């Protein structure tokens, strides 16, 4: 199904959160204020690596209007955070390891006073030699950033023996690929409001992707019970993985506790840049060999990921990359070795695609190069090695069976865009000889869920509330992806409720069950599964109550718009009458009727940590234009085939692919948080360039392939990330088609694409010949 | 005493007359204070968003005498005698056709860029009801949207242009 408004008919719905968004009425958590509120600010290290010899806060504390100045001494509990491995100091004791490290924080009456107070804090640093390169970090000469050295995590995968494998190859391609430090650039920077109530409980109003994880981490820092903390975490002005880890929360919470006043923090863009997470820059070296028929014989990969100063999810991102450099192909011999390495550069962590973006760019590049050596069509080479539906996953683990790989491949190769390949007219190229067009494609199999070995709980709750609303309660977060809209649509389409019947409750740890994190393309799948589990329970509970009051057997009743209806046996009869409204039923029941489900994200029967069970497949074709006078690349058309099971929300699906692909465009062409000597050179959006509407001149077609095997019980697969991983290698292939230049480093340096015979071209341009 | 140790005396406020969303008001703020902060912090009008503070993202867009400006770069004194329209002003008479087009076409996701984006679209269409794709691109290239990839936004702008044309035509027929 080609996704668009027209083809979706009534399934294309206005988002319930839309009216407040387009009118500006929606209060984001960083828009909130409270009476008597103080402003919080954080003092961060100017040095990428230094020893702290003294911190003097007296002058700052003495400034009129300053209510608290805190350092590591004021952290009552664990002075560390980190989702997977808490090694990042809340407030540094004796050493800073990057330019975002927090050393002190203040709360004051006004922004101006808070900033003045930061200037009055004196910190003595003894600057230390820095480690600003991940490969250098692994050498014996490099200073050690942590007690265990500079290696956060090493992971790999082996099959057969690559050495003898390469001996038997007809062609071998060796290449090294580099990917940038991409920034999430959510438009709402980090921030929030922190309030200790009369009852001594802390309420945190701050964006996150997993409220219960924040609650656990904050309880550990503050040394108070988790039950004393309430996390309100939606709505969110964008996250893309970047707000999953704690950011300003520890400082807001500590300052609010010490001053006993509400405290607000809202990062400036620069503070967001220096302290926040980025995508791991990776260096991926690949050696891949085939026999003369194009069959893959051996694949050897070495990944070096720059994880920055602290762990957060660096190990998990590496695991994902290790799985995705193998991808949807079968090899006789495999040897993947990956290293996630501490440096004094910026923090790297979770970001949409989760290590897949880097891996797939490299892997697909190998196929294009090998195909050329073989004199084969690049897609033909992929087809010859593509996994069959019953093949095991990349780590030889059992995975849910689908025809996804074949489906997206057939759809893409049948697309008009791909068909146009090789037939590109030369007329336009003659008119402007420095403009060249090309077509390229790439292929992806992207895992969803956290993978084997990592707790990945799911679940939710349905309630007929006292006022007659049907409450759907989940701990997922709305950061723009349209989770509320998708949940509403599922309740309407699967249960028959009207939108007015429904009340959706998310993002408040006091009232929601733990449905796990809103990450890893998992929330829609898990809501769908929850509703599948809840439907018979809820029907049983509510319809049997209704049966008592309407004097009808429960099995002849059904949910409908506004209330409970009798199932019409005779389709001709127009007896579509509501027997009892939900409010009347709720009143008659006297108390809310609730059903709950809890389960675990489906995992593979394997021992390999991080191995996935559910995958989304995609094949992407693009047409680009390369300007050989400027070296600039323009994306003209895109075609995405995505096999992810049934489409729950066509507008949301389309938006995820379009939005993900836009991020991938930036990853390919312009985005890089440039660092030198551990310092950011790109401090704001004047130098860090995300795509604007002008870079999106082209069209985009998104083909959703919904068919799943008949006995599939997993329903819709995740689509939050897959749109962001396949575009970059497709662009690289299209550039090669256009100008015959191979790209190995992103973002693509325009200089690489300048015409070699520049003078000749200029001549033509001037003479118009 | 070091300079930095002096207690901070708030900058002197002056009274700046202007019109805000149709209401005549006096802004009692320091003349160099940025309009963005006046709106958000002093007037509690948070529909106008803050993101880069340097005029590169458009989240803070408002209209001053019908012209779209980045309120993060506009100082309060520059508004003297001018008419300012924020997203709250656009929405004052109910949902504007541009806003309706964003709703129907899915021209937003997280919504954080949306108020600024709608201001830019409104300023464009008020001035040029039938812009070319290139003119649309130019008018909106100062508004960054990180979520949508601009697909829904482009469709919404087209829809808004159609609707405005239709209502103009039906008005001229009935008039
Ligand atoms: S906040 Fe004004 S342009 Fe970005
Ligand atoms: S909708 Fe999120 S930035 Fe545009």
From chain B, pick out residues whose CB is under 8 angstroms from the CB of A693.
Answer: 136-137, 140-141, 143, 145, 150, 153-154
- Same-domain status, B112 and B84: no
- Report pLDDT digits (tens) over A384-435: 999 999 999 999 999 999 999 999 999 999 999 999 998 766 555 567 889 9
Q: What is the pLDDT, as a whole number, of residue A425?
A: 60
Nearest CA to ligand 1 atom 3: B55
Instruction: Tell me which residues of chain B, numbers 107 to 126, contact chain A at a CB-CB cutoff of 8 Å.
Output: 108-115, 118
- Same-domain status, A512 and A610: no
- Same-domain status, B82 and B105: no
Q: Which residues contact B41 (CB under 8 A, 6 or more apart)?
A: none
B128 close contact with A: CB closer than 8 A? no
- Confidence band of B3 (pLDDT split at 50, 70, 90): low
Find the CATH number of the domain harbouring A252.
3.90.1170.50
- Confidence band of B166 (pLDDT split at 50, 70, 90): confident
**Closest Cα in chain A to B2:** A120
- Same-domain status, B25 and B43: yes
Contact A59 B5 (CB under 8 A): yes
Q: Residue A658: which domain range?
A: 282-451+606-764
- Choose the final residue of a domain: A559, A581, A600: A600
* Cα gap A394→A329, rounded to integer Å: 8
Would you say residue A170 lies in a domain?
no
Provide the mean pLDDT of chain A: 95
- Same-domain status, A531 and A442: no
- Same-domain status, B107 and B59: no
Name the residue among A651, A642, A645, A658 with its Cα closest to residue A528. A645
How far away is chain A from the Cα of B145, in angstroms, using its nearest Cα?
7
- Choose the final residue of a domain: A600, A621, A647: A600
pLDDT at B29 over 80: yes
Q: CA geometry: angle at A329 spanning A323 and A332, to 5°?
A: 95
Are B68 and B119 in contact by the 8 Å Cβ rule? The answer is: yes
pLDDT at B2 over 60: no
pTM, rounded to two decimals: 0.96
* Cα gap A259→A276, rounded to integer Å: 26
Q: Residue B81: which domain range?
A: 3-90
- Same-domain status, A394 and A463: no
**Tally of domains in chain B:** 2
> What is chain A's length?
769
- Same-domain status, A644 and A547: no
Q: What is the pLDDT, as a whole number, of residue A409?
A: 98
Would you say residue B175 lies in a domain?
no
* Cα gap A504→A233, rounded to integer Å: 14
Check if the interface score ipTM surpasses 0.90: yes
Portion of chain B with pLDDT greater than 70, in percent: 91
- Choose the final residue of a domain: A541, A565, A600: A600
Nearest CA to ligand 2 atom 4: B145
| Window from A232-241, B6-15, B64-73, B158-167 with minimum mean pLDDT | B6-15
Nearest CA to ligand 2 atom 2: B110
- Choose the final residue of a domain: B36, B61, B90: B90
- Same-domain status, A559 and A486: yes
B50 close contact with A: CB closer than 8 A? yes
Q: What is the pLDDT, as a whole number, of residue A765?
A: 63
- Report pLDDT digits (tens) over A606-635: 999 999 999 999 999 999 999 999 999 999
How far away is chain B from the Cα of A699, in angstroms, using its nearest Cα?
8
Contact B59 A187 (CB under 8 A): yes
- Same-domain status, A268 and A311: no
From chain B, pick out residues whose CB is under 8 angstroms from the CB of A686.
Answer: 52, 54, 56
Ligand nearest to the CA of A659: 2
- Report pLDDT digits (tens) over A525-584: 999 999 999 999 999 999 999 999 999 999 999 999 999 999 877 666 656 789 999 999
B158 close contact with A: CB closer than 8 A? no
Would you say residue A172 lies in a domain?
no
- Same-domain status, B7 and B86: yes
Q: How many CB atoms lie within 10 A of CB A435?
A: 16
pLDDT at A112 over 70: yes
Give, as one character, the DSSP assignment of residue A554.
G
The best mutation among B60, B140, B143, B146 to test binding of ligand 2, ranked by most ligand atoms within 8 Å of the C-beta, falls on: B146
pLDDT at B174 over 60: no
The best mutation among B38, B40, B60 to test binding of ligand 1, ranked by most ligand atoms within 8 Å of the C-beta, falls on: B60
Provide the mean pLDDT of chain B: 93
Would you say residue B42 lies in a domain?
yes
Q: What is the pLDDT, as a whole number, of residue A658?
A: 98
- Report pLDDT digits (tens) over A321-364: 999 999 999 999 999 999 999 999 999 999 999 999 999 999 99
Report whether residue B51 contacts ligand 2, using a CB cutoff of 6 Å: no
- Same-domain status, A721 and A587: no
- Choose the final residue of a domain: B90, B124, B151: B90
Portion of chain A with pLDDT greater than 90, in percent: 94
- Report pLDDT digits (tens) over B101-125: 999 999 999 999 999 999 999 999 9
Would you say residue A36 lies in a domain?
yes
Q: Is A19 helix (H, G, I), strand (E, B) or coil?
A: helix
Helix B151-174 with B97-105: angle, nearest 10 deg: 140
Mutate to test the interface with B, among A5, A29, A66, A187 (most CBs of B within 10 A): A187
Q: What is the pLDDT, as a whole number, of residue A570?
A: 67
Residue where the block lists tokens 């050696």: A287
Ligand nearest to the CA of A26: 2
* Cα gap B24→A758, rounded to integer Å: 60
* Cα gap A114→A151, rounded to integer Å: 38
What are phi and psi for residue A457, nearest 5 degrees?
-70, 155
Q: Which residues contact A146 (CB under 8 A, 6 or more apart)?
A: A87, A342
Nearest CA to ligand 2 atom 3: B145
Q: Which residues contact A431 (CB under 8 A, 6 or more apart)?
A: none
* Cα gap A130→A47, rounded to integer Å: 9
| Window from A4-8, A421-425, A428-432, A749-753 with minimum mean pLDDT | A428-432
- Same-domain status, B71 and B117: no
**Tally of domains in chain A:** 3
Q: Which residues contact A199 (CB under 8 A, 6 or more apart)?
A: none
Find the CATH number of the domain harbouring B137.
1.10.150.120
Q: How far is CA A237 from CA A233, B39, B114, B145, in A?
A: 11, 19, 10, 11
- Choose the final residue of a domain: B37, B57, B90: B90
Strands A202-205 and A229-232: parallel
- Confidence band of A98 (pLDDT split at 50, 70, 90): very high
Q: How many CB atoms lie within 10 A of CB A459?
A: 20
The tokens of A126 are what? 């003894």
Name the residue among A351, A345, A277 with its Cα closest to residue A675. A345
- Report pLDDT digits (tens) over B129-146: 999 999 999 999 999 999
Q: What is the pLDDT, as a whole number, of residue B12?
A: 80
Are A340 and A317 in contact by the 8 Å Cβ rule? The answer is: yes
Of B10, B44, B144, Cβ closest to residue A692:
B144
Find the CATH number of the domain harbouring A514.
3.30.365.10
Distance B36 CA to ligand 2 centre (A): 19
Q: What is the pLDDT, as a whole number, of residue A289?
A: 98
How far away is chain A from the Cα of B123, in angstroms, using its nearest Cα?
15
Name the residue among A7, A136, A17 with its Cα closest to residue A506. A17
Q: What share of chain B is helix, strand, coil (3-state, %, to 5)?
A: 40, 15, 40
- Same-domain status, B57 and B135: no
CA dihedral B168, B171, B173, B175 (to 10 degrees): -140
- Same-domain status, A340 and A398: yes
Mutate to test the interface with B, among A17, A23, A243, A690 (most CBs of B within 10 A): A23
Ligand nearest to the CA of B39: 1
Helix B114-127 with B133-140: angle, nearest 10 deg: 130
* Cα gap A29→A193, rounded to integer Å: 7
- Same-domain status, B110 and B59: no
Would you say residue B20 lies in a domain?
yes
Q: What is the pLDDT, as a whole number, of residue B175?
A: 43
Would you say residue A596 lies in a domain?
yes
Would you say residue A309 lies in a domain?
yes
**Number of CB pairs, chain A paired with chain B, less than 8 A apart:** 198
**Closest Cα in chain A to B112:** A237
Q: What is the pLDDT, as a whole number, of residue A736?
A: 97
**Bridge partners of A345?**
none
* Cα gap A183→A671, rounded to integer Å: 8
Contact B137 A482 (CB under 8 A): no
Find the CATH number of the domain harbouring B46.
3.10.20.30
H-only helix segments in chain B: 35-37, 87-90, 97-105, 114-127, 133-140, 151-174
Would you say residue A750 lies in a domain?
yes
* Cα gap A580→A559, rounded to integer Å: 10
- Confidence band of B11 (pLDDT split at 50, 70, 90): confident
Report whether residue A480 contacts ligand 2, using a CB cutoff of 6 Å: yes
Of B90, B95, B110, Cβ closest to residue A480:
B110
What are phi and psi for residue A112, nearest 5 degrees?
-60, -40
From chain B, pick out residues whose CB is under 8 angstroms from the CB of A113.
Answer: 8
The tokens of A484 are what? 């509320």
* Cα gap A617→A519, rounded to integer Å: 18
pLDDT at B1 over 50: no
CA dihedral A496, A525, A539, A710 (to 10 degrees): 90
How far away is chain B from the Cα of A527, in angstroms, using its nearest Cα?
19
- Report pLDDT digits (tens) over A708-732: 999 999 999 999 999 999 999 999 9
H-only helix segments in A496-603: 523-538, 544-550, 582-589
Q: What is the pLDDT, as a whole number, of residue A316?
A: 97
CA dihedral A479, A483, A488, A491 (to 10 degrees): -150
What are phi and psi for residue A534, nearest 5 degrees?
-80, -25
- Same-domain status, A445 and A463: no
Give Cα A5 distance to the centre of its chain.
25
Are A458 and A599 in contact by the 8 Å Cβ rule? The answer is: yes
- Same-domain status, B16 and B39: yes
* Cα gap A281→A307, rounded to integer Å: 8
- Same-domain status, A347 and A482: no
* Cα gap A28→A189, rounded to integer Å: 11
Are A577 and A501 in contact by the 8 Å Cβ rule? The answer is: no
How far away is chain A from the Cα of B174, in angstroms, using its nearest Cα?
30
Distance B73 CA to ligand 2 centre (A): 21
DSSP A165-224: HHHT-SEEEEEEEE----B---SS-SEEEEEE-TTS-EEEE---S-HHHHHHHHHHHHTS
- Same-domain status, A579 and A499: yes
- Same-domain status, A510 and A423: no
pLDDT at A46 over 80: yes
pLDDT at A303 over 50: yes
H-only helix segments in A375-450: 378-385, 404-414, 416-419, 427-431
Would you say residue A180 lies in a domain?
no
Contact B103 A14 (CB under 8 A): yes
Give Cα A716 distance to the centre of its chain.
18
* Cα gap A677→A345, rounded to integer Å: 8
**Closest Cα in chain B to A485:** B109
What are phi and psi for residue A230, nearest 5 degrees?
-120, 130
Would you say residue A769 lies in a domain?
no
Q: How many CB atoms lie within 10 A of CB A76?
A: 13
Contact B112 A238 (CB under 8 A): yes
Q: Which atom of ligand 2 is nearest to the CA of B147?
A: 2
Q: CA geometry: angle at A443 spanning A376 and A668, to 5°?
A: 105
Q: How many CB atoms lie within 10 A of CB A270?
A: 15
For residues A74-81, give the mean pLDDT. 98
């Amino acid at each position: 199904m080609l996704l668009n408004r027209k083809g979706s008919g009534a399934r294309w719905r206005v988002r319930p959160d839309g009216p407040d968004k387009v009118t500006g009425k929606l209060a984001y958590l960083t828009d909130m204020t409270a009476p008597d509120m103080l402003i919080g600010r954080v003092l961060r290290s100017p040095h990428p690596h230094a020893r702290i010899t003294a911190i003097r806060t007296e002058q700052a504390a003495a400034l009129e209007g300053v209510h608290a100045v805190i350092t590591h001494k004021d952290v009552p509990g664990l002075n560390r955070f980190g989702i997977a491995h808490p090694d990042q100091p809340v407030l540094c004791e004796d050493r800073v390891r990057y330019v975002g490290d927090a050393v002190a924080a203040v709360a004051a009456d006004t922004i101006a006073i808070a900033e003045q107070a930061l200037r009055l804090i004196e910190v003595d640093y003894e600057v230390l030699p820095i480690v600003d390169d991940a490969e250098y970090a692994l050498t014996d000469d490099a200073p050690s950033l942590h007690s265990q050295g500079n290696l956060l995590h090493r992971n790999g995968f082996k099959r057969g023996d690559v050495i003898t494998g390469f001996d038997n190859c007809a062609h071998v391609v060796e290449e090294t690929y580099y990917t940038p430090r991409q920034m999430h650039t959510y438009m709402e920077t980090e921030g929030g409001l922190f309030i200790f109530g009369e009852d001594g409980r802390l309420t945190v109003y701050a964006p996150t992707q997993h409220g219960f994880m924040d609650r656990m981490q904050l309880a550990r820092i503050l040394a108070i019970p988790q039950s004393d903390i309430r996390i309100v975490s939606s709505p969110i002005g964008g996250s893309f993985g970047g707000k999953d880890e704690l950011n300003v929360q520890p400082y807001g919470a500590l300052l609010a506790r010490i001053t006993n006043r509400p405290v607000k923090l809202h990062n400036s863009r620069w503070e967001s840049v220096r302290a926040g997470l980025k995508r791991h820059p990776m260096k991926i070296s690949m050696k891949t060999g085939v026999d003369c028929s194009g069959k893959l014989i051996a694949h050897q990969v070495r990944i070096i990921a720059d994880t920055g100063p602290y762990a957060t999810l660096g190990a998990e991102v590496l695991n994902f990359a290790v799985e995705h450099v193998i991808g949807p192909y079968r090899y006789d011999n495999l040897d993947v070795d990956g290293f996630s390495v501490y440096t004094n550069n910026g923090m790297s962590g979770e970001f949409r695609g989760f290590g897949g973006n880097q891996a797939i760019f490299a892997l697909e590049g190998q196929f294009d190069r090998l195909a050329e050596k073989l004199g084969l069509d690049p897609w033909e080479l992929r087809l010859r090695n593509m996994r069959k539906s019953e093949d095991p996953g990349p780590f030889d683990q059992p995975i849910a069976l689908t025809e996804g790989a074949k489906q997206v491949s057939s759809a893409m190769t049948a697309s008009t865009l791909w068909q146009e390949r090789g037939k590109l007219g030369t007329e336009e190229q003659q008119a402007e000889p420095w403009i060249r067009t090309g077509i390229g494609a790439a292929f992806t199999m992207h895992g969803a869920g956290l993978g084997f070995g990592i707790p990945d709980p799911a679940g939710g709750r349905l309630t007929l509330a006292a006022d007659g609303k049907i409450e759907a309660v989940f701990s997922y977060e709305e950061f723009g992806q349209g989770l509320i809209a998708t949940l509403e649509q599922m309740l309407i389409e699967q249960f028959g409720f009207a939108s007015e019947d429904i009340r959706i409750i998310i993002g408040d740890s006091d009232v929601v069950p733990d449905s796990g994190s809103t990450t890893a393309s998992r929330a829609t799948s898990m809501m769908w599964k929850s509703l599948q589990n809840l439907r018979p329970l809820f029907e049983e509970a509510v319809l049997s109550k209704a049966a008592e009051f309407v004097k009808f057997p429960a099995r002849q009743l059904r949910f409908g718009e506004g209330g409970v209806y009798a199932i019409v046996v005779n389709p001709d009869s127009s007896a579509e009458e509501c027997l009892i409204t939900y409010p009347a039923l709720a009143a008659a029941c006297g108390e809310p009727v609730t059903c709950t489900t809890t389960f675990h994200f489906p995992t593979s029967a394997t021992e390999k940590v991080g191995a996935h069970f559910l995958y989304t497949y995609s094949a992407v074709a693009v047409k680009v234009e390369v300007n050989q006078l400027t070296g600039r690349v323009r994306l003209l058309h895109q075609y995405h085939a995505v096999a992810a099971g049934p489409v729950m929300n066509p507008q949301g699906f389309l938006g995820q692919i379009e939005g993900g692909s836009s991020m991938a465009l930036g990853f390919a062409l312009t985005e890089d948080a440039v660092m030198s000597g551990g310092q950011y050179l790109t401090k704001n959006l004047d130098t860090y360039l995300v795509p604007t509407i002008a870079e999106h001149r082209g069209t985009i077609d998104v083909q959703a392939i919904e068919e799943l095997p008949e006995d599939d019980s997993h329903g819709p697969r995740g689509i939050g990330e897959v749109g962001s991983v396949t575009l970059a290698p497709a662009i690289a292939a299209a550039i090669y088609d256009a100008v015959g230049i191979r790209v190995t480093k992103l973002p693509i340096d325009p200089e690489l694409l300048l015409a070699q015979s520049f003078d000749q071209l200029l001549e033509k341009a001037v003479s118009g010949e | 005493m070091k300079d930095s140790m002096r207690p901070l005396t708030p900058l002197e406020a002056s009274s700046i007359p202007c019109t805000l969303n149709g209401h005549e008001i006096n802004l009692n703020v320091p003349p160099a204070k940025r309009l963005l902060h006046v709106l958000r912090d002093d007037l509690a009008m948070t529909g106008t968003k803050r993101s880069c503070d340097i005029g590169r993202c458009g989240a803070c867009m408002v209209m001053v005498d019908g012209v779209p400006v980045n309120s993060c770069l506009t100082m309060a004194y520059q508004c003297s005698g001018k008419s300012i329209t924020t997203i709250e002003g656009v929405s004052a008479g109910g949902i504007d056709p541009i806003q309706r087009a964003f709703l129907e076409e899915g021209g937003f996701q997280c919504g954080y860029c949306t108020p600024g984006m709608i201001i830019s679209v409104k300023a464009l269409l008020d001035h040029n009801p039938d812009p070319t794709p290139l003119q649309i691109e130019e008018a909106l290239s100062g508004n960054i949207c990180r979520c949508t990839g601009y697909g829904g936004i482009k469709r919404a702008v087209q829809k808004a242009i159609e609707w405005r044309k239709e209502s103009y035509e039906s008005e001229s027929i009935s008039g």
